[in-house]
Structure 1
Amino acid sequence: MDAGVQVALAHRSLLGDGLLWQHGGNRWWWTDVPAATLYAWTEGAPAPAACRLPDRAGSFAFCRSGRMLVALAKWLCVAEPPGGKVAPRHLALRPVVAVDPAEPRTRVADGRTDRHGNFVFGTRIEAAQPRAIGSFYQYSQAHGLRRLALPAAAVAGSICFAPDGRTMYFSDAHEHRIMQCAYDPTTAQVADVRPFAELADARPHGAVVDSDGCLWNAEWGTGRLTRWSPAGERMRAWTLPVPHPTRPAFGGAALDTLLVASARQGRTGRDDSGSGGSLFRLAVPGVRGIPDTLFDDDNP
Structure 2
Amino acid sequence: MTATICDTRPCELGEGAFWHPERQQLFWFDILSARLLSFDASGALEWQFDEMHSAAGWIDRDTLLIASETGLWRFDIASGARERVAEIEADKAGTRSNDGRADRHGGFWIGTMGKHAEEEAGAIYRYFDGKVTRLYDNISIPNAICFNPDGTIAYFADTSRQTIWRVALDADGWPDGEPEVFLDLRAEGLFPDGAVTDAEGGLWNAQWGANRVARYLPDGQFDQEIRVGGRHSSCPAFGGPNLRRLYVSTAREGIAQPDAAQGLLYQAESPVAGLPAPRVRA
Which bracket does the TM-score occupy, shorter chain normalised?
A: over 0.9
AA of the residue aligned to 2:143: G
Task: State whether structure 2 residue 59 is matched by structure 1 residue 69.
Answer: no
Q: In structure 2, which of residues 257, 273, 278 is the aligned counterpart of residue 288 of structure 1?
A: 273
The one-letter amino acid of 2:45's match is: A
Q: Shift in Å at residue 72 of structure 1? A: 1.0
Q: In structure 2, what residue type is equivalent to 1:118?
A: G
Q: Secondary structure at the match of 1:294?
A: coil
List structure 1 segments (4+ residues) > 6 angstroms apart after TM superposition. Answer: none
Q: Which residue of 2 aligns with 1:38?
A: 36
Query: Aligned to 2:132, which of 145, 159, 162?
Result: 145
Give the direction of change, closer, same or farther, for the CA distance of 1:7–1:65 in structure 2 (3 Å limit). Answer: closer
2:190 aligned partner: 202
**C-alpha deviation, 1:253, in angstroms:** 3.1
Does the 8 Å contact 1:114/1:185 carry over to 2? no
1:270 maps to: 256
If each structure's helix is expressed as a fraction of its own residues, which one has the higher value? 2
For the Cα contact (< 8 Å) 1:22–1:62, is it kept in 2?
A: yes
Give the aligned partner of residue 27 of structure 1: 25
**Alpha-carbon contact 2:2-2:228 (below 8 Å) kept:** no
Using the size of structure 1 for normalisation, the TM-score is 0.87
Closer/same/farther in 2, CA of residues 152 and 7 from structure 1, 3 Å limit = same
TM-score by length of 2: 0.93
Between the two proteins, what is the percent identity of the paired residues?
28
Contact 1:177-1:198 at 8 Å conserved across structures: yes
Correspondence list, 1:128-207, <5 A: 130-140=118-128, 142-148=129-135, 150=136, 152-184=138-170, 186=172, 188-199=174-185, 200-207=188-195
Gaps of 5+ in 2: none
Aligned to 1:231: 219
3-state SS in 2 of match to 1:191: coil
Tell me if structure 2 keeps the 8 A contact 1:242–1:273: no
Change (3 A) 1:185 1:74: farther
Cα pair 2:105 2:173 within 8 Å, conserved: no
Partner-residue secondary structure (3-state), 1:254: helix
Name the SS of the counterpart of 1:184 in structure 2: coil
**SS in structure 2 at match of 1:290:** coil
Tell me how far apart the structure 2 counterparts of residues 280 and 250 of structure 1 sit (CA, whole Å).
12
Opposite residue 69 of structure 1, the aligned amino acid is L
1:24, distance to aligned residue in structure 2 (A): 2.5
